[in-house]
A and B are shown apart, each in its own frame.
Chain A
């Protein structure tokens, strides 16, 4: 990051807003805007994207003049493990069922902190996964498979 951006939080917020505005403006370019008396599906999103883009530009411009906080430390380990745990659940739940999938999700999450103690982690995972199965599948009746497909 260059030193000349004195307010990185505002600057990158502006960049994010512009990116969202451009994304919606471009992918909605073929939508019919209609007329004011009969607005089409493109009218409202286009107007909103335009204003959002203007706000983004203002934020970026202002960020060069004001002083503010830097973005600070990014928790890369947290991002990878927590998102990884959710994605792992998605990848495995249909084939592997709640018990295996749930254990995998718990274990990947535990990797998110260096403070995890492994015996404790295993015990907690087993208890929580069994409790979830009893509560959500047996109790509430969610239609989630419990066991892997190749077992049952």
Chain B
């Protein structure tokens, strides 16, 4: 306990340094902005800003990028409630009841409950991170290469379970990601592979052109085909922000349940904000005394998911911070940012760079307080942004993407790569292939190969090493259980219903 308090104090001294405070503010401000705007998400934004994060110290960079992610969770609810469009994917369920509340003149209350819930959820999530960070990372320091390989295997299998759509396609996308990740110089032998004689590929493809292409550019092309671009959004009026006492009485238990659901689901591989909000909505609907109110402006339907998505957004940092393993595509980008800064992600970061890890954790408190202030009194400002139509927005997204991709290496090759991957990303959209597993495979692939090789070397080529190490065996059994669960008709069915609204 004392250990945690000491670390927290150290983190706080880092987080309140001028530059870090400023970057936290920039992060949550940008996060709110892109959260409010539909058509651009935190993934593409973080990918675009990755190169710029190179120009500040690691602490400030990671604090800003993290702020974009959790800030977007606040902003997304504003659009969901006032326009009936998810500004952010994880706010999709908030539309259902939030918009109905707005139409009944209770939009202000819905916004307030969403912001309060977000803060409670985020606080719970940060507390969970603080409690588990040190024990988990010291546990992970004892992992053998075989254990690490099985842990990553477990993470990848888990992410397919929680991915939307066909499992076989999600598995295929992981493998495509691993293959793309193997382009460049093989870490253990130094051999060039899959470079096709292209000089720029000798160091491998950077994550920036891949993420900007697949998530940013492909998304713009998709929106151009589907959106009606001519008009800005129709925005419901905001009245008083104060919820009534009855509304708070209904909302508060939902917030507590949402905190718990989000904190647990955020840690799972493939989990995070999106899954947490869907799960919370389902639970609230089941537990409600008057379930028929759902869909007609039930405040629990706003309070639960909006709390859960923030709790999940925070706890999804745990595997990344303690094990160096991303649980979702956002964390994969953050790991990419750390690697650009020369920090090798893994359990040793906690002891080697405690200021970095705890500075980030403590900055989340500061960032969340800023977010409540940015979002509630200034809601009018964000709403006016929604009147900006997509026909003006998308050329700006394209230009920002281009500048971001180019500036990372001052390389035009990266731009052409991003264009090619944008095309590939659009093909994935057309084929209904979820791109998230690809990014996870891309980040985990090289580490898996390295740990597989080392485990095999240590066991002198005996593959049973994966089953004789207890930790490794545990992860493999857990993976097998997950696969078995997906095969059950009941699980398959509920998996389909959870993601049907995406």
Chain A residues in contact with chain B, CB under 8 A?
9-10, 12-13, 16-17, 20-21, 24, 27-28, 31-32, 35-45, 48-49, 51-52, 55-56, 58-59, 62, 69, 71-75, 77-79, 81-83, 85-87, 89-91, 93-94, 98, 102, 105-106, 109-110, 112-113, 115-117, 120-121, 124-125, 128-129, 132, 136, 140-144
Contacts of B430 in A (CB 8 A): 9, 71-72, 74
A41 touches B189 (CB 8 A): yes
**The stretch of B11-19, B282-290, B397-405, B475-483 that contacts the partner chain:** B397-405
Q: How would residues 197 to 233 of chain B score, 1 for a CB under 8 Å from any chain A CB and 0 otherwise?
A: 0000000000000000000010011101100111000
Contacts of B229 in A (CB 8 A): 113, 115
Q: Complex Cα distance A144/B178, Å?
A: 33
Contacts of B453 in A (CB 8 A): 39, 43-44
A27 touches B194 (CB 8 A): yes
Pick the residue among A31, A62, A69, A136 that contacts B403 (CB under 8 A).
A136
A36 touches B419 (CB 8 A): no
Q: Complex Cα distance A112/B445, Å?
A: 36
Q: Complex Cα distance A48/B193, Å?
A: 15
Q: B50-81: which have CB < 8 Å to A?
A: 51-52, 55
Say how far A149's CB is from chain B's closest CB, in angstroms: 15
Main secondary structure of the interface of A (DSSP, over half): helix
- Interface size class on chain B is 35 or more
Contacts of A83 in B (CB 8 A): 217, 221, 419, 422-423
Return the chain B residue nearest A42 by Cβ: B193
B452 touches A77 (CB 8 A): no
A82 touches B220 (CB 8 A): yes
Given A45-B182, A51-B175, A75-B222, A82:B392 Cβ within 8 A: no
**The stretch of B334-342, B454-462, B486-494 that contacts the partner chain:** B454-462
Pick the residue among B169, B418, B426, B448 that contacts A79 (CB under 8 A).
B426
A sample of 17 more A-B contacts (CB under 8 A), given A41-B191, A55-B175, A81-B224, is A9-B431, A13-B432, A35-B461, A48-B178, A59-B172, A72-B430, A75-B222, A82-B224, A86-B398, A86-B405, A89-B402, A89-B406, A102-B399, A110-B395, A112-B395, A115-B228, A136-B403
Say how far A92's CB is from chain B's closest CB, in angstroms: 9
B193 touches A112 (CB 8 A): no
Chain B residues in contact with chain A, CB under 8 A?
51-52, 55, 166, 168-169, 171-172, 175-176, 178-179, 182, 186, 188-189, 191, 193-194, 196, 217, 220-222, 224-225, 228-230, 389, 391-392, 394-396, 398-403, 405-407, 410, 412, 415-416, 418-419, 422-423, 426-427, 430-433, 445, 448-449, 452-453, 456-457, 459-463
Q: Complex Cα distance A136/B399, Å?
A: 12
A37 touches B460 (CB 8 A): yes
Say how far A59's CB is from chain B's closest CB, in angstroms: 6
A78 touches B220 (CB 8 A): yes
Given A45-B179, A72-B430, A78:B224 Cβ within 8 A: yes
Q: Complex Cα distance A37/B401, Å?
A: 44
Return the chain B residue nearest A36 by Cβ: B461
B186 touches A41 (CB 8 A): yes
